[in-house]
């Protein structure tokens, strides 16, 4: 029981802390710039305290999630992060190819034979990444970042 109370309490404290931070950070702005963030910060802090009191008085039972799924979820998050970091480094098209290829391959884990996995992944990734890139770059005219290797990713300059 104590663990459940702890979780909500921590949350409530976080909320209160955020509100207080807002108040503190905007302290030296001129009144017109500060009034709204301070009001909202105050409300946030107040709600946090309210929740703190509430969670102390009403302990909550927690539910657990399936563990296997979690790993896939985290894998996706990690590959998304890497993708975003790669875009300015090697250009949009390259990064997208790598991301989609990797993710399609990785998400099939456990059900499909390796050679087919790779095959599917590569083909799908090329098709969808190139298609999307062409659509956005030439139809919607979005200037993608070129990356340090120059124009491979953007095709603009």
Partner 1 sequence: MELSAEVVSSLFDPVNLLFMVLGVAGGIIVGALPGLTATMALALMLPFTFSMDPEAALIMLGGIYIGAIYGGSISAILINTPGTPSSIATTFDGYPLARKGKAEHALVTAAFSSGVGGILGGLALLFFSPMLAKLALQFGPPEFFWIALFGLTIIATLSTGSVLKGFIGGAFGMLISTIGIAPIGGESRFTFGFAPLQGGLDLIVVLIGLFCIPEVIAMVEKRDLSGKASLHRRTKGAARSMIGQLVKKPALFFRSSVVGIITGIIPGAGGNVASLLSYDVTVRLSRDKSTFGQGNPEGVAASETSNNAEVGGSLIPLLSLGIPGAPPAAVLLGALMIQGITPGPDLYSRYPDLVFLFIWAFILANGVMFLLGFFGARYVGQIINLPTHYLAPVIVMLSVVGSYAIRNNLLDVIMMVGFGVFGYWAKRWGFEPAPIVLGLILGPIAEAGLTQSMLMGQAQGSVWGVFVTRPVTLMLILLCVLSLLWPILGRIRRGAKPSDRDQGGSDDASVHR
Partner 2 sequence: MRGLVKTGSGKGSSVFAEALHCFSNFDKEGCPVFKNRHLRMHLLLIGLLLLTACAPSSAGEGREYPRHPITYMIPFEPGGQSDIEARRQQPVLEEELGQKVVITYKPGAGGAVGWSELVRQKPDGYYMAGINIPHIILQPLANDDTGYRTDQIEPIVIFQSTPVGLAVRKDSGIRSLEEFIEKAKEKPGAITVAGSGTFSGHHLAFERLQQLAGIRMKYVPFTGGATQMQGFLGGNTDAILANSNDLVAYRDRIQLLAIGSDERFGPLPDVPTFKELGYDMTASIDRGVAVPAGTPPGIKETLEKAFKKIADDPEIREQMMKEGFEPKAMGIAESEAYIEGKIEEHKPLIEMMK
Residue ranges in contact with partner 2 by CB under 8 A:
32, 93, 112-113, 116, 119-120, 123-124, 126, 130, 133-134, 137, 141, 143, 150-157
As measured in angstroms, the least distance from the Cβ of 58 to partner 1 is 4
Which residues have CB under 8 Å from 135's CB, separation 6+?
none
**Per-residue contact flags (x/-) with partner 1 for residues 71 to 110, judged by CB under 8 A:** -xx-xxx--xx-xx--xx---x---x--xx--xx--xx--
Nearer to partner 2, 19 or 91 (CB): 91
- Chain positions 111 to 140 lying near partner 1, rule: CB under 8 A, are 111, 124-125, 128-129, 132, 136, 140
Nearer to partner 2, 51 or 120 (CB): 120
Q: Which two tokens stand for residue 55?
A: 């969670």
Longest Cα–Cα distance of the chain, Å, equals 65
- For residues 46-67, one letter each, b for 16 or more C-beta atoms within 10 angstroms of the residue's C-beta and e for the rest, the string is eebeebbeebeeeeeeeeeeee
Picking from 131, 85, 124, 127, the residue whose alpha carbon sits closest to that of residue 103 is 124
């Amino acid at each position: 029981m104590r663990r459940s109370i702890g979780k909500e309490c921590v949350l409530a404290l976080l909320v209160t802390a955020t509100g207080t931070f807002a108040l503190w950070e905007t302290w030296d702005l001129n009144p017109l710039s500060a009034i709204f963030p301070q009001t909202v910060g105050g409300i946030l802090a107040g709600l946090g305290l309210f929740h703190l009191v509430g969670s102390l008085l009403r302990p909550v039972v927690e539910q657990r999630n399936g563990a296997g799924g979690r790993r896939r979820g985290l894998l996706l998050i990690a590959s998304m992060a890497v993708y975003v970091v790669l875009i300015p480094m090697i250009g949009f098209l390259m990064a997208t190819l790598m991301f989609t290829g990797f993710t399609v391959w990785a998400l099939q884990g456990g059900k499909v034979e390796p050679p087919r996995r790779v095959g599917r992944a590569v083909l799908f990734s090329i098709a969808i990444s190139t298609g999307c890139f062409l659509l956005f770059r030439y139809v919607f005219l979005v200037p993608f970042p070129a990356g340090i290797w120059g124009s491979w990713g953007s095709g603009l300059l």
